Structure 1
């Protein structure tokens, strides 16, 4: 269309044969320009053929520029102002029209504009009489302006493409994030749904095993029971590992920061492994000075136990494991080192990942699931403990924990509390109300608690519990209650009913197999939350503390 308009204008100043020749050449180049994209339509423009496509596009644009540029020179009569005006409009029009569509790939536009404007501009500037020659200078200035404009259009186009690509990437990331979140939520729901059912039989077995121990008399029987307990404890540890990782990732575990004598505390935890180390023939050295730190004792104990367990496991008989606690200027340093097999440098980050066990290719269940160090890393992050690892293959491993220093104002009171905890506590002469809808758990707990000298009341629901209390005219010292009961009733419902019935805030031990349950979800006075399967020794320790407080309260009454 535009070529036809220019040809009509040129017929006033140029012979018709010359106009026809230029018209045919221009139509041919327009046809070539349209054919070139069609040649790539079958396969589309891909990363593999994009370079070829752009090369041909640049070549065709340059040849088109030569056609228009030389045609303009050939068709211009420099002595005729109308001829110069017409061809100048042709040159400026074709160049200006190509700024927007061709500047996205600027090399093509430069080829077009250069071969159209420069030959024509210099031809008019050098051959036309003044002041017509000034038109040539104007064309050259226009060329400079169009080059600048095309550069800006190219940048704007690239920015727009980048924005679209970023939006696409962000949308892909959002979709992937939602998919990952759904997988994580599904995993959490699966563990929440199954952990309770898995924990229930293990929970009951623990109480039955503890009660059975008091019935045995023969050494062979004790040896057999010890093996059964090891197997039970191993299954419990596997379940605990899975649950702990899930709860830590879900943020369900909240640190209860306290001031404690870290040396005394770590030494006591390390002492638990003396028998294990002796049995394996490993020399366990404990060098823990009295230093005060700020941390969660329960979570910190889990870190120490996991690291010590690994150290002894991977140290050969005759080797050495050392636990030390020392004060540093800005922190308390806890070191757990061994002379075991060591960890290769390229595997030292890998050992903190889930389910990684460098020395357990056969996946021996007795060696765990490979979650211990993963839990250590998560707990250290939660407690704001600096965790570092120094190890060489064949030269042992050294784990270092940087624990925040405590406020010294609280150290005196903490020391007295530690001394009180060191006394042997006895859980006896307590009246305990058990509420659990599982018959096996009630039976096992009743047998064990009775063997400890406790008076036990057992009920399967809140209604049964209230009936027992009314019938026996008893006031329990402790409530041992399962969080999830039959129907719609919950353990918290029973706690509220019993406390209202007796008009007293009786201490509560709430047991649950729900991995998402956290202590802060049950912020009522005198409640302790335990996750199943619960070690009988933990229950005994809690009951002993309650018994001691009861003794002190009776003394104060006198």
Structure 2
């Protein structure tokens, strides 16, 4: 019935009410009891309960008295501890004054009566600020209270500084010690403030001494004037530079008096009172003045005048005599040097005019040379078709004649004739390649090229030559892709292989392959030929240069020059290693196109394509060629292969043949440059439009640019260059008809 956790006073009250209730109950039972014995028993029981409750009440009262004594003792100990502290201390609980020491109360006697327990902390600070003993308070009281309340328990102290009468200084520190309590500490800092003030005054005095010492040791003369114009501070150098007597320059001397003395005694040459008055006027208007003036002794002085922040004036004098003399000497030398430079400039102008005339002549000569080279290039480009046309016709006729005379008495002569035309073709190709590489508008277009197909193409072209010479020609397959121009890289590999076969005797061997070189690839051509001496290895890449051990009649020396020029334009590196009598190794190092995978496609120019049988060509071939000789030779060769040829010299004639047979041909062979501005690609497009069938087609042209090849890839025709290689033409025709027949295409 009694909660032991309740305060002792509350427990005593409850016990008293319980005893009172028991007594009333006992009285009622006594009044209504049945017998005296029952009443006696009730009285005995009630008395026992009363004694027990009385003992509990006495014990509880003793504990309450002991707790009160302990609280009083702790409060007295706290008061003694606060009284023993050197500074003033006040404890605020829930924002109200709980306890403080005598130092806190007696610090400001006029407001001590208002600082009683229970007073709010704001009222305490208001009383402190309003005391007549407080001179100043450094800091914001409201902000300090707010910061102390927001701060965590035991966090940094918030401080204020107050100045009291009698030059006394105290620091007020506020700190939150618990969720409910804030402690205020008053610490006297009078000794510290006075010591700092004394040190500051001493430092100021020393700074004045230092400043005066600096003034006296300056090379410039310095003098300062008060706003009223009286001398405040100066050094001896100022007096010496102006030549003033000791009595004239003293503390308190007036500025105008000093200037009157300077003007009256002609201390400054050509500086009268009027000019000095102008100086002062300018100083008043602009706040600064700078003048260079000549002293009566001949020295040159620089005068600098500045307005000080308080309205005073500072004058600074510098002796610039040596500097002035040096400047005058320099100016004289500059004048002399200017005259010399003027004369030299006249000579240079004459030389420049002469050089301009020579440069103009050189420019004109260069333009004429460039025009000649450009004319030669345009001529070779325009004439390449006409130059290659008869060679192409002759090769076709010789090929037809060679098959017809094979095994007869004139077969050998035809074979020699074929070799002669091959030499003419090789020389013509070399000249055209050099012309294109030398032209200003070279059409080298690097792309990702499969090097394996180029090596196979060269092998297929040169294998008959190797067999006739009795030389073994081997090519190691490669699936690598390189960054290069496909046309000129093919020509470079072909030139290296042709040279190797030409200078390798019967029974020798030529090997072509590739080696990886740290992210690049090196194509190598090995041979067991006559070799090249070390001195010849440095000049064999020049035009018309051949090694000393090369037999007569073995070429004019253009192949390696073309290889060198091509590789320089494409950024490839060409190397040669050779030993006379042992053999040579020529290599081309190129950038490797990473991530490329070889893909199957139609045979490009220079590729033999799939191996086909030598059976008769039972196909209808539409041949479009404007040159009658080439048309005749081509028709004869195709018919010799077993084809049914529809020869046409123009697009109109070709379309007439198609209408006559009433069907699409199996394949179209067309020259690119036809008469009257017609082209082979237009002929192919016209036949396809007429028949409604995507007829396989091959363009045969002397144009070696990559633009036509790119167009062929888009429009679906292949490109072969003249003079056409029959070893390439026959497999390509069979391949395109077999894999790109009209029925399969549509």
TM-score (norm 2): 0.48
> 300, 308, 333: which is aligned to 2:497?
308
Q: Which residue in 2 is equivalent to 1:432?
A: 621
Change (3 A) 1:383 1:526: farther
Equivalences for residues 225-374 of structure 1 within 5 A: 225-250=414-439, 251=441, 253-255=443-445, 257-260=447-450, 262=452, 266=455, 269-270=458-459, 273=462, 276-277=465-466, 280=469, 291-316=480-505, 321-338=510-527, 340-343=529-532, 345=534, 347-359=536-548, 364=553, 367-374=554-561
Q: Which residue in 2 is equivalent to 1:463?
A: 652
Equivalences for residues 99-178 of structure 1 within 5 A: 143-150=332-339, 152-153=341-342, 156=345, 160=349, 164=353, 167-168=356-357, 170-178=359-367
Structure 1: which 5+ residue stretches go unaligned? 1-135
Change (3 A) 1:275 1:358: same
> 344, 357, 375: which is aligned to 2:562?
375
Instruction: Work out whether residues 259 and 411 of structure 1, in 8 Å CA contact, stay in contact via their aligned partners in 2.
Output: no
Change (3 A) 1:155 1:431: farther
Q: State the shift of 1:474 in Å.
A: 2.6
Change (3 A) 1:519 1:452: same
Q: State the shift of 1:229 in Å.
A: 1.8
Q: Which residue in 2 is equivalent to 1:539?
A: 729
Change (3 A) 1:421 1:359: same
Q: Which residue in 2 is equivalent to 1:525?
A: 715
Which whole-Å deviations, capped at 9, do the CAs of 1:322-341 have from their partners, x for residues lacking one? 43421121211122244555
Change (3 A) 1:149 1:254: closer
CA–CA distance in 2 between the matches of 1:268 and 1:496?
A: 29
Greater Cα offset, 207-216 or 461-470: 207-216
CA–CA distance in 2 between the matches of 1:371 and 1:267?
A: 23
Instruction: Work out whether residues 505 and 525 of structure 1, in 8 Å CA contact, stay in contact via their aligned partners in 2.
Output: no
- Higher relative contact order structure (alpha carbons within 8 Å, sequence separation ≥ 6): 1
CA–CA distance in 2 between the matches of 1:143 and 1:370?
A: 69
Q: Which residue in 2 is equivalent to 1:42?
A: none
Which whole-Å deviations, capped at 9, do the CAs of 1:347-369 have from their partners, x for residues lacking one? 545332333334599973xx233
Does the residue aligned with 2:427 lie in a helix, a strand or coil? Answer: helix
Does the residue aligned with 1:209 lie in a helix, a strand or coil? Answer: helix
Q: Which residue in 2 is equivalent to 1:399?
A: 586
CA–CA distance in 1 between the matches of 2:472 and 2:744?
A: 46
Structure having the larger proportion of residues in strand? 2
CA–CA distance in 2 between the matches of 1:137 and 1:302?
A: 75
Which whole-Å deviations, capped at 9, do the CAs of 1:296-322 have from their partners, x for residues lacking one? 555333222211222333345676654
Is 2:631 aligned against 1:445?
no
Q: State the shift of 1:374 in Å.
A: 1.8
Does the residue aligned with 2:740 lie in a helix, a strand or coil? Answer: helix
TM-score (norm 1): 0.62
Which whole-Å deviations, capped at 9, do the CAs of 1:94-143 have from their partners, x for residues lacking one? xxxxxxxxxxxxxxxxxxxxxxxxxxxxxxxxxxxxxxxxxx99997774
CA–CA distance in 2 between the matches of 1:514 and 1:432?
A: 23
Equivalences for residues 482-497 of structure 1 within 5 A: 482-497=671-686
Aligned length: 416
Which whole-Å deviations, capped at 9, do the CAs of 1:384-419 have from their partners, x for residues lacking one? 3221234466665432211221323x325369999x
Q: State the shift of 1:246 in Å.
A: 1.8
Q: State the shift of 1:554 in Å.
A: 4.8
Q: State the shift of 1:494 in Å.
A: 3.3
Q: State the shift of 1:534 in Å.
A: 1.6
Change (3 A) 1:139 1:338: same
Q: State the shift of 1:380 in Å.
A: 2.0
Change (3 A) 1:215 1:279: closer
> 361, 374, 384: which is aligned to 1:185?
374
CA–CA distance in 2 between the matches of 1:547 and 1:256?
A: 31
Instruction: Work out whether residues 456 and 608 of structure 2, in 8 Å CA contact, stay in contact via their aligned partners in 1.
Output: no
Change (3 A) 1:516 1:312: closer
Greater Cα offset, 179-188 or 378-387: 378-387
Change (3 A) 1:287 1:152: same
Equivalences for residues 60-99 of structure 1 within 5 A: none
Change (3 A) 1:316 1:287: same
CA–CA distance in 2 between the matches of 1:248 and 1:301?
A: 15
Q: Which has the larger radius of gyration?
A: 2
Q: State the shift of 1:184 in Å.
A: 0.8
Q: State the shift of 1:370 in Å.
A: 2.1
Is 2:739 aligned against 1:549?
yes
Which whole-Å deviations, capped at 9, do the CAs of 1:138-162 have from their partners, x for residues lacking one? 9977743433333554665576567
Q: State the shift of 1:450 in Å.
A: 2.3
Structure having the larger proportion of residues in helix? 1
CA–CA distance in 2 between the matches of 1:322 and 1:498?
A: 45
Does the residue aligned with 2:544 lie in a helix, a strand or coil? Answer: coil
Q: State the shift of 1:376 in Å.
A: 1.0
Does the residue aligned with 2:589 lie in a helix, a strand or coil? Answer: strand
CA–CA distance in 2 between the matches of 1:513 and 1:417?
A: 19
Structure 2: which 5+ residue stretches go unaligned? 1-324
Q: Which residue in 2 is equivalent to 1:386?
A: 573
Is 2:690 aligned against 1:501?
yes
Change (3 A) 1:475 1:318: closer
Greater Cα offset, 202-211 or 213-222: 213-222
Does the residue aligned with 2:369 lie in a helix, a strand or coil? Answer: helix
Q: State the shift of 1:540 in Å.
A: 1.9
